[in-house]
Amino acid sequence: MAYAHNAKPAFTDHARRRMSGRSINEVQIAQVMQYGRSVHTRKAVIYVVGRQEIKEYGCFLAPCEGIHVLCSPNDGAVITTYRNRDLSGLKH
């Protein structure tokens, strides 16, 4: 399921706890889902912002660098989020 840029994503309780504990807010989640690259797996859709997206879209994305947002492939709900600037493990 592709992210609808004008839709507000749903968050699981787990995602809300992780966002709070990792100081990641809803605006950052929305920016990552709108401007970040997406990697589709059988169990999740992963959105992430790296240096490439910051260079392409602008430095306003710099606070989002390394934020990963894992979403359900069924309904698009945000399952969890974390920071990891090493994007080498993501396969397109």
Q: Is the per-residue pLDDT at 17 higher than 80?
A: yes
Contacts of 47 (CB under 8 A, 6+ apart): 3, 32, 33, 36, 37, 38, 68, 69, 71
For the segment 37-86, what is each residue's pLDDT rounded down to a tens digit? Answer: 999 988 899 999 999 999 999 999 999 999 999 999 989 999 999 999 98
Amino acid 41: pLDDT: 86
pTM above 0.85, yes or no: yes
Which value, in Å, is the radius of gyration of the alpha carbons in the chain?
12
The pLDDT score that the predictor gives to residue 91 is: 66
As a whole number of angstroms, the longest Cα–Cα distance in the chain is: 33
Domain ranges of the chain: 13-83
